[in-house]
Amino acid sequence: MSDQEMSLHAKILGGTEEAYRVARMIEGLLMAQVAMAVDRFGVADLLAAGPRTAEELARDVGADADALGRVLAAASVYRLVRRDDAGRYALTSTGELFRTDSETSARGLAGGFLGPGFWATGSGIADVVRGKKVDPAAPGGVYEFFGQHPEEAVWFARAMGRITGALVGELAASGFRPLASGRIVDVGGSRGTLLAHLLRTDPESTGILFDRKEALAEAPGFLASAGVADRAELVPGSFMEGVPAGGDLYVLSQTLHNWDDERARAVVGNCHRASRPGGSLMVIEYVLPDGPEPSLAHLMDLIMLTALAGRERTRDQLAALMGSCGYALVRDTPMDRILPWRVLEFQHEPG
């Protein structure tokens, strides 16, 4: 069966390659939710040992056998699994990517980014385009949701850890080292993927991992496995209220895009006030292009618009925002082989 034949709507739209692309967009809800279920229930890891029936899998994961079987049947449409005549499911080469031990594992990505906290916000894009204001910190916002559903916060931390892991891989492959070192404060660093890398890069440095309590849930185990737990302190809190003082290097990685300019300035201002004189700030973001060319940063900008009332920014916009808080740009390092990241390093100015 061809890809076009495995779509609900492609033939209605004419059956062409272009129709198939549009149909896949329309069917995105189904595709995404099937991927999330396969991810969250660890189906790929269970099937790694060999084919299993839906009933056998359901017993292992504590699921309803009929419902899981229907999800698995749908997963076979998307070629994540295949079913034999005996009703047993086996992994395909695509499904292998959901195994935890896969070198390019997608485990955690679907489970974190397609959970109810973000899914509900994405479905409201039409209202946002009409002018509805999004406030993630207000009742019903994503931050309140994660606070009330810590298990969802853990899934999101895993997804962000996977993304940050790819970033760390790029930093390591490029040989990047920050201009500043010493006492590193990772603001909003979740489980500590980036901080662990920075501490391993500079064995003389120490670190503080600062984030909401629920976001730090997996940090102790991760930092221990990275061999840096003895040099990293976990501090729970809100960076809107303040950040730990006395740092030589403050790190904001994929954090400022969560906020509008006013709140982003509040976060940066807190870093500036807490910093040691002459300290540094390292900002890593998906940076929008200056020209009209397509960029994956535009897709992330849409997520920021609907979920967090934040935005992606150009290099000049980021430099201006930092400048209004007392920081001067000293180095700009593109890190865009995989995603449109840039590492912008700023120097603390008196004031």
User: What positions carry a catalytic annotation?
Assistant: 257
Backbone angles phi, psi at 5, to 5 degrees: -75, -15
Alpha helices for the chain (secondary structure H): 17-26, 28-40, 43-47, 54-61, 65-77, 109-113, 116-122, 125-129, 142-148, 150-174, 193-201, 219-225, 261-274, 296-303, 315-323
C-beta of residue 270 within 8 angstroms of C-beta of residue 243: yes
Token pair of 318, please? Answer: 């980021």
**Among the listed residues 319, 265, 327, 259, the one whose alpha carbon sits nearest the alpha carbon of residue 287:** 319
**Among the listed residues 347, 256, 252, the one whose alpha carbon sits nearest the alpha carbon of residue 301:** 256
Alpha helices for 275-333 (secondary structure H): 296-303, 315-323
Helices 28-40 and 17-26: angle between axes, nearest 10 degrees = 60
Token pair of 62, please? Answer: 């504590």
Alpha helices for 213-349 (secondary structure H): 219-225, 261-274, 296-303, 315-323
Backbone angles phi, psi at 209, to 5 degrees: -100, 115
Residue length of the chain: 351
Cα 105 from chain centroid? 14
Token pair of 328, please? Answer: 């001067």
- Alpha carbons 52 and 36: distance in angstroms, whole number: 20
